[in-house]
Amino acid sequence: MKIKKNKDKKIYVIGHLNPDTDSICSAIVYANFLKHLHKHDVVAARAGELNSETKFVLKKWGVKTPQKLSDATGKNIIIVDHNEIDQAVKNIRQSNILEIIDHHRIGDVESIHPIPFENEPRGATAAIIADRYSWHRVTINRKMAALMLSALISDTLLLKSPTTTVKDRVLARKLAKIARVNIEKYGKELLNSGCDLVNHSANKIILTDFKTYRKGTKKVGVGQIPVIGFTKIMKKKEIILKELNRLMKKNNYEALFLIATDVVDVESHLFYAGNEEKIKKLFHKKIIKLDKIDGGYMYLKKIVSRKKQVQPKVLELLNC
């Protein structure tokens, strides 16, 4: 691997493609942290367009949208909230990765030099960064606390996801105090702001929060959409299944999934396209089929976390 001569001295802190609130807020709060440690050439960046929930958060707290980085070639990069090449900004292999902070499974991002790599099963990457502020005695101001709390609420669905740890709950209370918000009230407002996606096209519903997982040449993809109640998404079940099948064939996926998660009642419906026998064995749930459409969907009680509850299962599809 050869790195192009690096003229850009800046350090970009950047989250994953199809960025969510945690990816964007983690980039902002970590860039701010490094500035306090007198690293002034650090900037927060993003690998794609903001979703409506993240737009709500940045607007509410008067925070500037991070600059978009479309190609990492020759850049100094700090990766937050992911560590898989398929989820990273384009040409991450041609960049100089300086550090990784994440809360997902260990993926396939490689570095050239030994680098700090902190990965902890926490509710959000922003929670790991909040701890770092404390260790280094960097003050968390109101804005930073609000962004950290927003990321934590977003990734854990108001601390209801099984990814939420005891440390996260304690941290959320501390951050809410600094941000001067009521967690429940603000949390509901935040989660509501992300639930208009269901009104868009099937393509956008599937791909707005979409992750690809790869093993060798095989790959599976999982999108997730937050909803309040399943009425609206169920009206679109035909076009969603058709689009899942189309995208799977077009991009050579083994299988494609869409998790529609009710952020209030903490339950999901999982739509799929792919080998039915294999998918059935993964979840042991009743599959509902539609007339003349491949794929189907199932109801998943109490299942809301892609990384903890769905991804480990769908990855098994890549083992055979």
- Using CB under 5 A as the criterion, which residues of the chain lie in contact with Mn ion when the complex forms? 22, 81, 125, 155
For residues 297 and 269, is the Cβ–Cβ distance under 8 A? yes
**Residue closest to Mn ion when measured from CB atoms:** 22
Which of 26/96 has CB closer to Mn ion?
Answer: 26
Shorter beta-carbon distance to Mn ion: residue 18 or 125? 125
Least gap, CB of 20 to Mn ion (angstroms): 7
Nearer to Mn ion, 102 or 262 (CB): 102
Residue 239 C-beta: closest distance to Mn ion, Å: 29
Question: Residue 159: which residues within 8 A CB-CB, separation 6 or more?
Answer: 123, 152, 153, 168, 169, 172, 183, 187
CB of 124 to Mn ion, least distance (A): 5
> Residue 38: which residues within 8 A CB-CB, separation 6 or more?
none
Supply the minimum distance, in Å, between the C-beta of residue 55 and Mn ion: 17
Rounded to a whole number of angstroms, the minimum distance from the CB of residue 205 to Mn ion is: 20
Q: How far is the CB of 139 from Mn ion (least distance, A)?
A: 24
Nearer to Mn ion, 246 or 308 (CB): 308
Residue with tokens 């994440």: 102
Angle at 157 between CA 154 and CA 163, to 5 degrees: 100
Min dist. Cβ of residue 129 to Mn ion (A): 11
d(CA 265, CA 299): 13
Q: What sign has the CA pseudo-torsion 246, 251, 255, 256?
A: negative
Question: Which of residues 22 and 209 has its CB atom nearest to Mn ion in the complex?
Answer: 22
Taking residue 49's Cβ as centre, other Cβ atoms within 10 Å add up to 12
Q: Which of 305, 43, 1, 12 is nearest to 160 (CA)?
A: 305
**CB 306, CB 224: distance < 8 Å:** yes
CB of 63 to Mn ion, least distance (A): 18
Nearest to 149 by CA among 118, 190, 119: 190
Phi/psi at 288 (5° precision): -105, 130
CA-based nearest residue to 111, from 4, 203, 9, 1: 1
| Nearest CB to Mn ion, comparing residues 22 and 262 | 22
Cβ distance to Mn ion smaller for residue 22 or 53: 22
Nearer to Mn ion, 22 or 99 (CB): 22
CA distance 243 to 231: 19
In the three-class reduction of DSSP (H, G, I as helix; E, B as strand; rest coil), residue 303 is classed as coil
